[in-house]
Amino acid sequence: MKQDPLKKLRSFLLPHLPDHLLGKPEVFAKLYHGRSMESRILHHKEKTAQAYLLLVLVCLLCIVISWICAINTKAHHVILERPELGDTPLRKTVEAIVIQGESRVKRSLSMMLYGYGRSAVDVQQYLDKLLDGLPVQIAGKNKDLRSIEYPLELPVTVGNEGANIAWISSSPLILDETGSIDWLKIDREQTITLTAAVSMGEVVRERSYELTIPPPSKERVQESIAKSLEDALDQVRKDAASGGEIHLPAQTADGTPITWMEKRSNLTGSFLLLFLMGALLIYARRYEGAKREMLRERKRIERDLPEFVDALVLMLYAGSYTEGAIKRIATNYEAGTDSKGEYPLHEQIRSIRDHLEQSNVSLRHELISLAEQCNLRELSRIITILTDNLEKGIALAEKLDMESSMLRYGRKRKSKEAGQLIETKLTFPMVLLLISLLIITTGPVMIGL
């Protein structure tokens, strides 16, 4: 028969997980009051390890689903639809991607969409002087005009007199009048003539400058793509603010295609937080199974204790001595129909008999050990009477008969208290039911009025 894969994985993980996650042996020993319970402790550890394993598997599954759902889908439309007039405004997040060769630039755009007098000679000399100083001024971050690696700084006015400058480029597609360079248009070294026309009034002086632009680096290409993409996004923002249709451009101004992706939320962080909370919950409750088991065991011992005392009193009145009576009761328990775990007191009595027969231990020692393990007040009182009889020879049957009556009275009292508690718990549902009946019966009448 094939073993369950979950059980195989649990068996593999069990020896590798530390005790502070699965439960410390000393804590289990304290819960079981020093008894040897290796099989039960192993069972509780296996259940805790299985809980951790299931939590990890569920978290991984949720993260994978979150990643799959968060994958951006390619937008097949270039128009973002606005909500109808009066509808709740929508927040749209789109992603623009431009790919040119090995360069790739991505930008996100989030929008809220709603349903809605000198002489001429003096002037010429002054303008010539300005033209002489222009190469240094327009170079900007570049060392000189013979090796252009950065955009130029082309002013529109120059000098203290406010002379106007008009720039004319021999290759306006590569170098425009603002000094911006389209690095995407450059695949080899370019020589460009840049002409400056400086004017004051009716006097105009021109001068040309030879520029050398080497092939661009990857960073320059990225900058150029980013600029053209930002220009496209600016146009989308204007459409979003204008109240008209929102057109997502299919390409940048220089013709480079744009791929639009609508972003989706990623819930990975939320799933990880839930995983952490689940792990902390399992860690905090790793001893709960053992505690519940011990509580059930004490209740079952308390349930069976009056019958044990009655049987012991009957044996003593019949002439048996204490140890022989306990052995005879253990034999009767063994012959009866006892489901495993349903009668823990029977198991303890049989265990005492086996220890007395197999080892040289005293009955008093076994009884005191039983009282410490069970940690039950009523059982401790019975065992105190038995040990006093073994040490001092006090009258045993009469005292046990009295204790049996007290035990039965206590069990009746607890049963009565449990019944009263059930009545209290049923009060609130009954009130809700009464209110529901009143609403059902009086509702149609009130509506008719």
Question: Which pLDDT score is estimated for 114?
Answer: 59
More confident position, 74 or 105: 105
Residue 59 clears pLDDT 80, i.e. is over it = yes
For the segment 197-221, what is each residue's pLDDT rounded down to a tens digit? Answer: 998 878 889 999 888 888 877 777 7
Residue 22 clears pLDDT 60, i.e. is over it = yes
Share of the chain above pLDDT 70, in %: 89
Question: Which pLDDT score is estimated for 85?
Answer: 41
Judge whether 247 and 89 are in contact, CB under 8 Å.
no
pTM: 0.48
Pairing of strands 73-74, 258-262: antiparallel
For the segment 79-131, what is each residue's pLDDT rounded down to a tens digit? Answer: 777 665 445 677 878 778 888 777 888 888 887 775 545 577 777 888 888 88
Question: Which pLDDT score is estimated for 277?
Answer: 93
Which is nearest to 66 in space by CA: 302, 268, 334? 268
For the segment 380-426, what is each residue's pLDDT rounded down to a tens digit? Answer: 888 888 888 777 655 677 888 788 888 888 878 888 887 888 878 88
Which is nearest to 277 in space by CA: 288, 287, 285? 285
Question: Which pLDDT score is estimated for 86?
Answer: 41
Residue 319 clears pLDDT 90, i.e. is over it = no
Judge whether 119 and 126 are in contact, CB under 8 Å.
no
Pairing of strands 203-213, 246-247: unpaired
The H or E element containing residue 65 is helix 38-70
Q: What is the DSSP string of 80-121?
A: EPPPPTTSPPEEEEEEEEEEETTEEEEEEEEEEE------HH
Question: Which pLDDT score is estimated for 94?
Answer: 79
Residue 265 clears pLDDT 50, i.e. is over it = yes
The rounded Cα 280 to chain-centroid distance in angstroms is 12
The rounded Cα 90 to chain-centroid distance in angstroms is 27
Structure tokens at 440: 């059902």
Find the mean pLDDT for residues 306-334: 84
The DSSP 8-state label assigned to residue 245 in this structure reads -
Judge whether 297 and 344 are in contact, CB under 8 Å.
yes
Question: Which pLDDT score is estimated for 31?
Answer: 75
For the segment 230-253, what is each residue's pLDDT rounded down to a tens digit? Answer: 888 888 888 787 777 777 888 887
The rounded Cα 130 to chain-centroid distance in angstroms is 66
Judge whether 205 and 124 are in contact, CB under 8 Å.
yes
pLDDT mean across residues, the chain: 80
For the segment 339-362, what is each residue's pLDDT rounded down to a tens digit? Answer: 566 788 888 888 888 888 888 788
Lowest mean pLDDT among 66-80, 172-186, 399-413: 66-80
CA dist 383 and 32 (Å) reads: 19
Question: Which pLDDT score is estimated for 195?
Answer: 92
CA dist 405 and 99 (Å) reads: 91
Question: Which pLDDT score is estimated for 116?
Answer: 47
**Domain residue limits, the chain:** 5-70+268-286, 73-116+226-262, 120-217, 289-424
Lowest mean pLDDT among 166-170, 219-223, 278-282: 219-223
Which is nearest to 262 in space by CA: 89, 73, 80, 111? 73
Q: 262 forms bridges with which residues in the sheet?
A: 73, 94
Which is nearest to 121 in space by CA: 195, 196, 200, 197? 200
Question: Which pLDDT score is estimated for 276?
Answer: 92
